[in-house]
Structure 1
């Protein structure tokens, strides 16, 4: 074999492994699909935010009046079966209230009228059926500002797991439809990522409660937990 043919053979021998290496490094065809799943469950926990506001000429008088009203509210919560561990002070605010009058020169005179004290109590009601009763007692005993309620679940892991399964099944079904339309087949799963969505809070204002109608009507309904997954599949011819 002359030198020309030997050089060509050597070049071919070096080129084939390099081409094979490049082919091995190239990523396989793939598809990314988003699947969604939702599962619902009745709530087993009500979270209440109850605020008492009292006003007086001095901060001391306002605080004393507020303390008395809030003590009655806390006692009522305990009498309704709320455990001490489910009662927590969320904040206390003491602030002056001014009356502003305009002067001829455009400035304002500020007259101190009173002091306001706001005490907010966070309450966990584990017996959902008693939520309306607890709200009614709180308002009748001094809760007179703001207020809110959120229905949730203490341990939502089981229903979230069910939502995840539904989301993955949805992603697989979508991938098969897309692959079939493209004339290919779905291969193995290469990657999965997910994101869970808790149900939003359901606000309720304390001023809407009607004492004449008895306990506040409260409907807990169901909490819907949503999961979204991104699944990467390998595609095969």
Structure 2
């Protein structure tokens, strides 16, 4: 049992070591490391999706009914202070509605009973304090679908730059740790690359309490996380 245990332990140690590579022109070797830096920030904008689904006996009737209610939706968005540049139609669909299949109905002859129209708009809300009231106004104006809310930052680059500083600080600290533990010196950086991440909060579903119609729907913005991972290869000297 002991030889097997030692062999397994050796395999674990080998796979957990940082990548080392010898170079024919450089006798000291190289070490490749990676580190991540993160920054959390309070969001300053939200993106929401709202729309109207209507049905009618004909495609024209379904579309006309939808058009009337969507005009109210756009008016509600503008009344909430949302600019035209922050509104965009994200989906418009007109499709037939089929009757449920019955056993005495030929399978190749589906029966159309009407038509359904769906119209969705995405909007950027920059006044988060009025977000709950804006959603309530959308529903009151005729919107019957709220797709969800996602939070973000007007200028995510500022957070990403700070995440880069944090990642570089963590990278150099890790390099010094390996150098001290391995009794070698860290040399110049041979190559370096980064990958970025921007993680908004999960989408928040809309819910309105019938017992609190006089108060705006409560919305929690939470935080968004910006992250940067740096991969670098250093020269090392024994």
Report the TM range for the smaller structure's normalisation: 0.7 to 0.9
* Residue 146 (structure 1) shift: 4.7
Compared CA separation, residues 92 and 127, structure 1 to 2 (3 A)? same
Measured in 2, the distance between the counterparts of 1:159 and 1:89 equals 29
Larger radius of gyration: 1
After superposition, where does 1:71-220 map in structure 2 within 5 Å?
71-104=71-104, 107=107, 110-200=110-200, 202-206=202-206, 208-213=207-212, 214-220=215-221
Between the two proteins, the alignment pairs up a number of residues equal to: 214
In 2, Cα distance between the equivalents of 1:24 and 1:103? 78
- Supply the distance in 2 between the matched residues of 1:105 and 1:81 (Cα, whole angstroms): 53
- Residue 202 of structure 2 aligns to a residue whose secondary structure is coil
Residue 232 of structure 1 pairs with residue 233 of structure 2? yes
Please give the TM-score of this superposition, normalised by the length of structure 2: 0.83
1:4 aligned residue: none
Contact 1:189 1:231 in 2 (8 A): yes
* Contact 2:151 2:200 (8 Å CA) reproduced: no
Q: CA RMSD in A?
A: 2.0
Question: Any idea what SS the aligned residue of 1:204 has?
Answer: coil
Structure 1's 95 and 149: CA in aligned 2 closer, same or farther, altered over 3 A?
same
Deviation for aligned residue 1:101 = 2.5
Secondary structure of 1:110's counterpart equals coil
Summarize the Cα distance change of 1:236–1:83 in structure 2 as closer, same or farther, 3 Å threshold.
same
* TM-score, structure 1 normalization: 0.83
Give how far 1:218 is off: 0.7
Deviation, 1:27, is: 6.1
Task: Indicate yes or no: 2:42 matched with 1:42.
Answer: yes
Mark the runs of 5 or more structure 1 residues left unpaired by the alignment. Answer: 1-22
SS for the counterpart of 1:218 is coil
| Corresponding position of 1:7 | none
CA 37–86 in structure 1, closer or farther in 2 if over 3 Å, else same: same
